[in-house]
Structure 1
C-alpha cells in the first residue's frame, strides 16, 4: 500500500507543473461540484416542501368534501324515512283489507322510486327491507321489485349482526358500495328493518381527482377496520401495509414519511373513513434527479472548460519554471546565436534573465579555460614530440657505432632507417589522427631498434585483426605505452622479455591489449594510477620528459568522448596489461 501511494504521489512530488495543474483543477472544479450538489439538494427540498404543502391542503379539503357528499347521501335516507307514504305504509301494512294494504304499499314504492330518480346522478339503486312484513323493495334504473325473501337478504343480514346504526360497505366485484342505515321505531328504537343506497364509487372520482393520483401515486378510501373500500391511481396497497399506515395516523388530517413513501391522510369522522394518499419517495427524487441531470450536464461542461482553462493557465505559468529547472539540471549553456527567451516582467522572468546571463558567462569562462588548456596541452605535447628520449637516442647511436665494427652495412641501414622513420612520424602535426596501421608501424620501428640492442632477451608478438587497419587513433598512443613497458617493467627483470600487442573488433569498439611479462606495478602505485585514469587527474604533465598513460587516456577522450579510453591492470612479478578502447566507426585515409 505504501508503494502504491508513493507511486501515485511521485509525479506530484517531482513536478511543480503537476502540482499546479491539480491545484488549479481543484480550485475550479470543487466549487462547481459543490454548487451542483447544493442546487440538486435545494431543488429536492423545494419539491418536497411543495408536495407536502400542496397535498396536505388537498387531503384536508378532499376529506371534508367527501364528508359532505356522504352527508348528502345520508339525507336521502332521512328523506325516505320521513316521507308520509312510508309512515302510511307502516300503519296500514297489517290492515285486514288487502286493497288498503296494497294501495299503501304502492304509494310507498312510488315514493321510493321518486326519490331514486331525483338522485339518479348519485344512486345506482335503493334497497329497503322490513322485518315485520318480510318485504324487500328494490328500485334501480331498470327494475322495480317488491317480494318476500325466504330469509333476511344480503346485505342486511351481515349489517343487522353488527348491531350498528349505519355502515358503508362494498358490494363485491361491482365497483359499488352500500350506504346502509337501520330503520328504527321512534318511540322504542325497535329495529323495523334497514335501507341501503347503492352508489358507484366512480361518482366520487371527480372529487378524488383533486388529489391528482397518477401512475405512481395512489388514493385510498378505507374504513377503520383496515379494509380498502376504494382505490384510485397507481401502485396498489396491501391490507397489511394499510394497517401499518393507519397505526401511525392521528385524528384530523396530516402526513408522515416512511423510508419509501410520503403518506397524507384525512379523517371523515361521522363515517369512520379515512382518505389516504401515498406518494413514493421516488416521485420527489425523480423531480430532483431531473434537475440533477441538468446540473450534471451544465456542471460537466463547466468542469471541462474549467479543467481546460486550469491546464492552460498552469502550463503557461509553469512552462518557464520547468524550462529553467531542466536547463539548470543539465546546466546546458545557451548557444551562440540564442537570444534570451524572456517575455515576462515578473519574478520568473527576472529569474530566467539572470540564469541566461549566468549561463552565458559560464560558457565564456569554459571556452576561455578550454582554449587556454588546449593551447597549453598542445604546446606540451609538441615539446614532448620534439624531443626524443635522450637515453633512447644515446643508446641507439651507441648501437649504430658498435654495429659499424661487427655488422653488415644492410643491418646498420635497417637501424638507421627505423630511427629516421620514427623521427619523421613524431614531428608531424600532433593534433592529427593517424591509422592503426601507421601507429603500429611506428611501434615496430621502435621494437626493431630495441631488438637490435637486446637480441637474445626480447621477443614480440603483434596481432592485427583484418579490417581494423584504417581505424583512427591519436598519434603517439601505442609507442609511449611500449616504451614505458621497457623502462618500468622489463628493464629490471631478469630472464627473457616478452611484449604482446593484440588489436581486434569487439561489440563496444576496437580493443587493443598491450601486455608485458615485466616486474609489474606495486599495489599502492597501481591504485593511484587507476584512480588518476578514472578521475582524469593531470592528463598532461608539465616538465615530464615522456608521454605518460594519463596523457594517452586524455587525448583518446578528447578525440572520441568519455565512452572510450584506457585501463591498466598489473600483478607484481608477472607483468602489466594496458587495455585501450577506440570507436570502430571512425577511420582516416593512409598517406
Structure 2
C-alpha cells in the first residue's frame, strides 16, 4: 500500500478525531462564538444607550435643581433689597443711638426680612455712621451694642454689593450667646453692602445667615443617597453642600473635577475615578456655584449588567441544549458507522457471508441495504468474473502481440544483412538493420510496457523503410513534447495505426503523401498522441459505423462487431490500451479537411500509476 496519513480499518479513531467529537466541537464553535458576540455587542450597545439616557436625564435633573437654587437665592436677594425700598431705613441708620423709634423700625425691618424667606437663621446689621451692630434671631429678642468696626467675618465683604460666604458653622457675631440660640449649625451667609444711593458711600453691612436645610431639600431630590453623590461648590472649590456628612464647608480635594469644571463654561459631563460626573454652573451676580453629581459606573450600568447576566444565563441553557442535542444526533450517525466498520472488518478477515442486520428507515438503512446487495453481488461474481478476468489478461496480451509479430523473419534478415555487407551494399544493410530492429522490438514479449520515446523510435524505423519504398512521394514528421517522452504506454500501439495509412490512405499516383505524429500532456495525466495524414478520407457511412463500434467498446468494454481487417486492427489496439488503463483510455478517428484522416489516442496514465503504486 502507498504510505500516507490514514487510519486502518478496525482501528479506533482518536478521541478528538471522531465524527462525534468534531461535530460537538463544530456545534460549540458555531453557537458559542455568535452567542458571545451577540452578548458582547448587546452589552456594549445597551451600555452606551443607558449612558446616553442617564446623562440626558441627569442633565435635565441638575438643570432643574440649578433653577430651584437660583430662585431660592433670588428670594433672599429680593428680601434684602427692602433696605432700599423702605424710605425710613437709610435715614434711621444715620440717627443717633438713643433714638428708640428709629431702633424699633430697624428691628421691625430686619424681622420682616427674616420672616419673608424660610431658612434664615439670623440677621446681622452694622451701621457705619452710628457704629451700632444689631443681631436678630428667631428665638431671642434683638440685640444691639456699640461697635467701632463691624464683626470680623463681615469685613471682607464691605467692598462688594452682594456676595455669598461659603458654608460655615453659625455664630452670634460677637454677641453673648443666649440659651435658646442654635450655634454650630451649618449655614451660608448672604452679604449685602448698604450704600447711600446714588453715591457709593457705605452706610452699613447686612449679613443674612441661611440654614442649609432649604438647599438640602432641593439637592436631595437630585440624587440617590445610597448609590450616588451630590456636591454644591463655589468658584474657589469650597463645598457649600454635600450629600455626605463631614464634607460641607471643606475644600474640594479632587483636582481633576475642579479642572473639568473650570475648563467648561456652563455645564457638561466627564468620567473620572470609575464614575460619571455631571455638573451645572449657577451664574448669578452674588454667587458662582456649581452642582456636581457623581454616578458610579456600577450604578450607571446596573441595568446593562442585569441584561447581560440574563443573556448569559439564556446562552448557557442554549449551549447545554445544543450539547445534549449534538450528542444524541452524533450517536444516531456514528453508531451505524461503527456497526458497518465491524462488518467490514469481518469481511476483510474472509467472512464473506456476514449477516448484515440493520433495520432503519432513514439514510443509514438505505446504506446498509445497498451494502448488503453489494456483498451479495460480490459473492456471486468474485469466482466467476473477477478471477477469470485476471487470468485472461496476460493470455490476451500475449496472443495479441503474437498476432502482430512474425518471429521467423528475424534470423533470415540477419543472414541477408551479412550478405549485403559482403557484397559492399551498405544501404541494403542499413535497411535490413532497421527492419531487424523492428522485428526485435515486436518479438520481445517480456516488455509489455515501453516509453513513448521507444515506441516513437520503432515507428520512425518503420517509416524509414516506407520512405525507401515510396521515395519523394512520402514525407513524415514526429514532433513529441519533451514531458511526454518518458511516459509509459503499451507496446505496439502506434505502428498498426500508421500502417493503415499505407494500406488505404496513400495515393501513389497523385499528390505527395504526408504523415505527422505529435504528442502532448493534457490535464489529469492524459497522454494525447495525434496521427494525421493527407490520404483518402473515410466515407461518411463507414466513418459513422467505425466511430459507433469504437464508442461501444470504449464505454462498455464489449467485443465490437468488426467486419474488416482494419477494424480488427483498431480493435486490437484499443483492447490493449484498455487492458493497460482499465477501460479509461480512448481511440478516436475523424476525417480532416480538405482530405485526410486524424487518429487521436488518449492514454490515462495517472490512474494506472496510482494503481501500480498501491499494488
Q: Give the TM bin, normalised by the shorter chain.
A: 0.5 to 0.7
What is the CA deviation profile of residues 168-215 of structure 1, one whole-angstrom value per residue up to 9, with x for unaligned ones?
Answer: 322235221111121122133122321111111121233223323322
Q: Does 1:261 align with 2:275?
A: yes
User: In 2, are the aligned partners of 1:216 and 1:279 still within 8 Å (CA)?
Assistant: yes
Partner of 1:110: 108
Distance 1:334 1:81 in 2: 124
What aligned pairs does 1:70-469 form with structure 2 within 5 A after superposition? 70-93=73-96, 98=98, 101-119=99-117, 121-143=118-140, 144-149=142-147, 151-160=149-158, 165-172=162-169, 174-232=185-243, 239=251, 241-249=253-261, 250-258=264-272, 260-270=274-284, 271-328=287-344, 331=348, 338-346=355-363, 348-358=364-374
Q: For residues 39-63 of structure 1, what are the alpha-carbon distances to aligned partners after superposition, in whole Å with 9 as ceiling and x for unaligned?
A: 3333322321221110111112221
- Please tell me whether the aligned partners of residues 222 and 229 of structure 1 are also in contact (alpha carbons under 8 angstroms): yes
Superposition TM-score, scaled by structure 2 size: 0.51
Alignment partners' CA distance in 2, 1:54 and 1:357: 77
**Shift in CA distance, 241/170, structure 1 to aligned 2, threshold 3 Å:** closer
CA distance in 2, matches of 1:107, 1:31: 82
Establish whether residue 57 from structure 1 lines up as the match of residue 60 from structure 2: yes
Cα deviations across residues 11-54 of structure 1 (Å, max 9, x unaligned)? 46631221112112222333333333333333322321221110
- 8 Å CA contact retained: 2:282, 2:290: yes
Question: 1: CA distance between counterparts of 2:271 and 2:186?
Answer: 30
Say if 2:24 is the partner of 1:21: yes
Q: CA 1:332–1:15 in 2, change beyond 3 Å: closer, same or farther? A: farther
CA separation of 1:129/1:333 partners in 2, compared to 1, >3 Å: closer, same or farther?
farther
Cα distance change of structure 1 residues 234 and 303 upon mapping to structure 2, 3 Å threshold: farther
Quick one: distance in 1 between partners of 2:17 and 2:345? 13
- Give the 3-state SS of the residue equivalent to 1:84 in structure 2: coil
Question: Do the aligned residues in 1 keep the contact of 2:94 with 2:130 (CA within 8 Å)?
Answer: no
Provide the rounded CA distance (Å) in 1 between the counterparts of 2:339 and 2:251.
76
CA RMSD of aligned residues (A): 3.3
Query: Which residue number corresponds to residue 69 of structure 2?
Result: 66
Q: From the superposition, tell whether residues 147 and 14 of structure 1 become closer, same or farther in structure 2 (CA, over 3 Å).
A: same
Deviation per CA, 1:473-528, whole angstroms, max 9, x where unpaired?
Answer: xxxxxxxxxxxxxxxxxxxxxxxxxxxxxxxxxxxxxxxxxxxxxxxxxxxxxxxx
The reply to whether residue 44 of structure 1 matches residue 78 of structure 2 is no
Give the C-alpha shift of residue 335 in structure 1. Answer: 10
Q: Tell me if the contact between 1:257 and 1:263 (Cα under 8 Å) persists in the aligned partners.
A: yes
Structure 1 residue 336: Cα displacement = 7.4
Distance 1:18 1:221, change over 3 A: same
CA–CA separation in structure 2 for the residues paired with 1:85 and 1:186: 14
Q: Between Structure 1 and Structure 2, how many residues are aligned?
A: 351
CA distance 1:355–1:167, change in 2 (3 Å): same
Render the CA deviation track for 1:213-257: whole Å, top value 9, x for unaligned. Answer: 322211111111111111126997984554422322312222223
Q: Is the 8 A contact 1:218 1:235 kept in 2?
A: no
* Gap change, CA 1:218 and 1:289, over 3 Å in 2: same
What secondary structure, in the 3-state scheme, does the structure 2 residue paired with 1:155 have?
helix
Q: What is aligned with 1:434?
A: none
Structure 2 runs not aligned, ≥5 long: 1-12, 170-183, 385-615
Q: 1:91 to 1:236 in 2, by over 3 A?
A: closer
Deviation at 1:122, TM superposition (A): 2.8
**TM-score of the pair, normalised by structure 1:** 0.53
Please list, as runs of the form range in 1=range in 2, the aligned pairs for 1:483-498 lying within 5 A after superposition.
Answer: none
Distance 2:15 2:367 in 1: 23
Return closer, same or farther for 1:323/1:131 CA change in 2, 3 Å cut-off: farther
Say whether the 8 Å CA contact 1:333–1:360 is kept in structure 2: no
* CA–CA distance in structure 2, aligned partners of residues 178 and 33 of structure 1: 58
User: What SS class does the counterpart of residue 112 from structure 2 fall into?
Assistant: helix
Separation in structure 2 between the aligned mates of residue 181 and residue 324 of structure 1, nearest angstrom: 103
Cα separation, 2, equivalents of 1:110 and 1:147: 17
TM-superposition CA deviations, 1:434-478 (whole Å, max 9, x none): xxxxxxxxxxxxxxxxxxxxxxxxxxxxxxxxxxxxxxxxxxxxx
